Amino acid sequence: MTRLPLVALALALLAGCAYPYSPPSLPPVSSTSPAASVASAAAPAEARAPVTILVSIDGFRADYLTRGLSPHLSHLATEGVTAAMRPSFPSKTFPNHWTLVTGVVPDRHGIVANSFTDPAHPGERFTMASDQPYWWDEAEPVWVTAERAGIPTATMLWPGSNVAWGGTLQPRGHHAVTGGVRPHDWLQFNANISDRQRVDTVIDWLRRPGPTRPRFLTLYFDEVDIAGHDGGPDSAEVNAAIAHVDQAIGALVSGLAELGLAANLVIVSDHGMAATSSERVIALDRMVNPADYEMSEDGPFAMIRAVPGHEAALEARLLSHHDHMDCWRRNGIPARFRYGRNPRIAPYFCLADAGWLIDAKPADKPFTGGAHGYDNADPSMTALFIAQGPAFRPGAKLAPFDNVDVAPLLRDLIGLPPGRGLDGTDAPFRRVLRR
Ligand code: AMP
Ligand code: ZN
Ligand code: ZN
């Protein structure tokens, strides 16, 4: 893996290059970088319209905010607007991050799980590493709309932000694409980029002079989710991760203050977290004949196909009553999930009760941890929402709303026209937005 020397990294950031990024082993580019300070000083004050920063803290369950471990987030919540936000179904990372930036439910935007197949692309599988544009092109993310409107955008990680949206990947081109729109600045996902490096890079992007300064940015943190899976939502690991990400939020707020830059912050999570255990595993092989089915996703939900010719045998067992699990044909999933029309969803879909896991076999050794992907109305899946900045009236607690409404809010903040055909609206925010 190549390492960019610090000066090269600083210049690349200033020049606005999109480049594959390996985190430097040296301290990250800091707000005292000499070249950066020159750019900051050169920025004309009149060009400093508020920027919009969408921050995701993956797996930050709404009630984590009440643990007393995140003073910076709590302060922003007090100064701004807060709510308990319902994720979309299924309550997984990629479906929800794509909903947050497109304003449509996973059934319509096509990122129906973290991993799935599509009858239109036989032999291919979508995974979290897929940057093939056709997986993503059923709905347009807000940074593409903004770039097309001449508004510069920059993404410090976000599922889908490394994709040349609407482009075509060359068969043997090693990620070479023709056409497509990306954020002006973006990075290939790399879990080793520290929280502080993520924040410092965003601040450095914002140091640019007015015309080249991004006006919409994303910032993504995954450590709370990782800790939640490892230790479960009530673990010391989660508490440490909450406190650590909160420090990064504090650094973001002070970095913006040092720049004297007004920002509307929209801080969200994609879903919550439920405690799991080897005591709560649903062993599918004990309910249906393993010769009748193939399972392509397991855990909180399962995507299931019948072995050809075994449909009737599978249905007779799978679609009957089970403790702690419901199974449906794809087109029989209850309407409230808004899920089941997209052909990327397997023909049979099983959903476990929160805290239960579907697997072929019982656990072979004891474990505890955390998972998400459950019923999006289950309280354990509730997501974080805090919005703060000049666009928001302070101190409002909103009624719970669906995360499809975030993209319409972002469009308002960025100055884009309302989206057409979206599942969400900005209605939940109208009384707290200053016009
Ligand atoms: P999950 O908990 O299975 O829904 O997946 C969430 C995890 O995906 C996070 O903890 C991240 O570490 C990881 N992740 C986030 N973005 C990406 C990406 N663009 N590529 C690969 N992995 C990612
Ligand atoms: Zn997630
Ligand atoms: Zn997760």
Domain 6-273+376-432 identical in fold to domain 276-369 = no
Whether the per-residue pLDDT at 28 is higher than 70: the answer is no
Whether the per-residue pLDDT at 26 is higher than 90: the answer is no
pLDDT category of residue 13 using cuts at 50, 70 and 90? very low
- Test site for ligand 1: of 225, 229, 374, most ligand atoms within 8 A of the Cβ: 225
Whether the per-residue pLDDT at 19 is higher than 50: the answer is no
Q: What is the mean pLDDT of the chain?
A: 90
Q: What is the largest CA-CA distance in the chain?
A: 72
> Is-catalytic flag, 145?
no
Q: Can you give the pLDDT at residue 387? A: 98
Mean pLDDT of 172-182: 84
State the distance from the centre of ligand 3 to the C-alpha of 6, rounded, in angstroms: 32
Cα–Cα distance list, 284 to 84, 279, 317, 322 (Å): 34, 15, 10, 10
Whether the per-residue pLDDT at 33 is higher than 50: the answer is no
Whether the per-residue pLDDT at 91 is higher than 60: the answer is yes
Catalytic residue among 82, 93, 201, 425: 93
User: For ligand 1, is residue 90 a contact (CB within 6 Å)?
Assistant: no
Q: Can you give the pLDDT at residue 206? A: 98
Whether the per-residue pLDDT at 169 is higher than 60: the answer is yes
Which residue's alpha carbon is at the smallest distance from atom 12 of ligand 1? 222
Whether the per-residue pLDDT at 47 is higher than 60: the answer is no
User: For ligand 1, is residue 114 a contact (CB within 6 Å)?
Assistant: yes
Query: Regarding predicted confidence, which is higher, 146 or 33?
Result: 146
Ligand minimally distant from the alpha carbon of residue 223: 1
| Domain assignments of the chain as residue spans, ordered by start | 6-273+376-432, 276-369
The answer, yes or no, to whether the previous bond of 211 is cis (omega within 30 of 0) is: no
- The fold of 6-273+376-432 is Alkaline Phosphatase, subunit A (3.40.720)
Q: What is the pTM assigned to this prediction? A: 0.90
pLDDT in tens, 342-392: 999 999 999 999 999 999 999 999 999 999 999 999 999 999 999 999 999
- Test site for ligand 1: of 57, 128, 162, most ligand atoms within 8 A of the Cβ: 128
Span of 7-21, 120-134, 180-194, 408-422 with lowest mean pLDDT: 7-21
Q: Can you give the pLDDT at residue 23? A: 29
Taking the C-alpha atoms of residue 297 and residue 283, their distance in angstroms, rounded to an integer, is: 14
User: For ligand 1, is residue 200 a contact (CB within 6 Å)?
Assistant: no
pLDDT in tens, 224-233: 999 999 999 9
* Nearest-10 crossing angle of helices 195-206, 6-15: 50
pLDDT category of residue 161 using cuts at 50, 70 and 90? very high
Q: Can you give the pLDDT at residue 16? A: 35
Taking the C-alpha atoms of residue 65 and residue 42, their distance in angstroms, rounded to an integer, is: 39
Which residue's alpha carbon is at the smallest distance from atom 1 of ligand 1? 93
Mean pLDDT of 281-305: 97
Q: Can you give the pLDDT at residue 41? A: 39
Q: Can you give the pLDDT at residue 48? A: 58
Ligand minimally distant from the alpha carbon of residue 226: 1
Whether the per-residue pLDDT at 24 is higher than 50: the answer is no
Mean pLDDT of 25-43: 31
pLDDT in tens, 52-70: 999 999 999 999 999 999 9
Q: Can you give the pLDDT at residue 174? A: 72
Taking the C-alpha atoms of residue 59 and residue 372, their distance in angstroms, rounded to an integer, is: 8
- CATH architecture of residue range(s) 276-369: 2-Layer Sandwich (3.30)
Span of 40-54, 134-148, 186-200, 349-363 with lowest mean pLDDT: 40-54
The answer to whether 114 and 92 are in contact (CB under 8 A) is yes
pLDDT category of residue 173 using cuts at 50, 70 and 90? low
Tell which atom from ligand 1 comes closest to the C-alpha of 161: 19
